[in-house]
Amino acid sequence: MGVPALFRWLSKKYPKTVTHVAEDKPSTMTDDDGNEYMVPVDITTPNPNGFEMDNLYLDMNGIVHPCTHPEGKPAPTTEQEMMLEIFIYTERVVNMVRPRKLLFMAIDGVAPRAKMNQQRSRRFRSAQEAKEKEEQRLEGIALFEAMGKTVTDETKNAKTWDSNAITPGTPFMMLLAESLRYWVVKKLNSDPGWKNLEVIISDASVPGEGEHKIMDFIRRQRISPHHDPNTKHVIYGLMSSHRITKLVVEYAAKRVITRLSVRWTSLL
């Protein structure tokens, strides 16, 4: 759960904690026949931000939500398209950070009891709003037909995707975990920048929220006899709770990325 207005307060009171990320973009080349093709970012090269990072921790729900029901652009129409959007988004974050040792992908599992109560009321409200939107859509279709305009069967039968599917135990979350495993194996076998990367996926079958899983993993690393205290960590997420997480793990994380705007937030 996020802390309302924490990022705004932090950035205003301590503006030097926020810096923008230098990001390489894919380039476009032209072959001998005049056809354009895209050359992906080579993440084996040095990090353009001037420092290297070892571990990257992704709170995947901060990626899944904007990919499945984005603001400011049309939403994907199928769950397959949603998976592709998630892959593209995740790869962009990885390309920015360029972790050299570990990529930890944490998907929210079953939440603690207090969070369950909050989620239940929020999901009931979301379901009610979805029902009202569907009723308005049907009324609009009926109005168009009454005006003598033609409405296609595709428009009539269109189903709105329910964002409540982003809940542990749903078929969508099972599809997400399976799709991420497939994509990660593909990247490990085909992308040189991923060749030496250890990837851990903690899916929705593992209890706990994403930021709690990240915090627990970092703590376990720190008590390991083989842990390097100079390991540099990055946490990615949309919620201000990641700054609290960073403080709780005793400055184990060196950077926090918020939103794909994109900014570094350092609390050191």
**Strand arrangement, sheet containing 263-265:** 18-20, 263-265, 255-258, 233-237, 53-59, 99-106, 198-202
Taking only the tens place, the pLDDT of each residue in 201-220 is: 999 999 988 888 998 998 88
Does the bond joining 110 to the residue before it have cis omega, within 30 degrees of 0?
no
CA distances from 174 to 26, 79, 133, 168 (A): 31, 12, 27, 9
Q: Is residue 1 part of a domain?
A: no
- Residue 233 has a CB neighbour count (10 Å cut-off) of 24
Taking only the tens place, the pLDDT of each residue in 140-155 is: 777 877 887 777 766 6
In terms of domains, do 33 and 93 share one? yes
In terms of domains, do 123 and 205 share one? no
143's CB contacts (< 8 A; 6+ apart) are none
Domain of 238 in residue numbering reads as 10-111+168-265
In terms of domains, do 124 and 218 share one? no
**Number of residues assigned to the chain:** 268
Q: Is residue 191 part of a domain?
A: yes
Domain final residue pick, 164, 182, 208: 164
In terms of domains, do 85 and 181 share one? yes
Cα R_g (the chain), whole angstroms:
21
In terms of domains, do 19 and 116 share one? no
pLDDT of residue 255: 58
Nearest to residue 60, comparing CAs of 201, 264, 247? Answer: 201
80's CB contacts (< 8 A; 6+ apart) are none
Q: Is residue 64 part of a domain?
A: yes
In terms of domains, do 103 and 123 share one? no
Q: Is residue 28 part of a domain?
A: yes
In terms of domains, do 39 and 160 share one? no
Is the full-model pTM beyond 0.85? no
Q: Is 194 helix (H, G, I), strand (E, B) or coil?
A: helix
List of the chain residues with pLDDT < 50: 248, 252, 260-268
pLDDT of residue 165: 87
> Does residue 55 contact residue 20 with C-beta atoms inside 8 Å?
no
d(CA 116, CA 107): 16
Three-state secondary structure readout of 31-60: CCCCCEEEECCCCCCCCCCCCCEEEEEEEC
pLDDT of residue 257: 56
In terms of domains, do 191 and 222 share one? yes
Q: Which helix (H) or strand (E) holds 106?
A: strand 99-106
Q: Is residue 5 part of a domain?
A: no
Q: Is residue 207 part of a domain?
A: yes
In terms of domains, do 78 and 203 share one? yes
Domain count, the chain: 2
Q: Is residue 87 part of a domain?
A: yes
In terms of domains, do 132 and 234 share one? no
Please work out, in degrees rounded to the nearest 5, the angle formed at the alpha carbon of residue 86 by the alpha carbons of 237 and 255: 25
Plot region of 179 (φ>0 → left; ψ -120 to 50 → alpha; else → beta): alpha
CATH number at residue 70: 3.40.50.12390
Taking only the tens place, the pLDDT of each residue in 95-128 is: 999 999 999 999 999 877 777 777 777 777 777 7
In terms of domains, do 69 and 190 share one? yes
In terms of domains, do 198 and 98 share one? yes
pLDDT of residue 261: 43
Q: Is residue 3 part of a domain?
A: no
> Does residue 249 contact residue 219 with C-beta atoms inside 8 Å?
yes
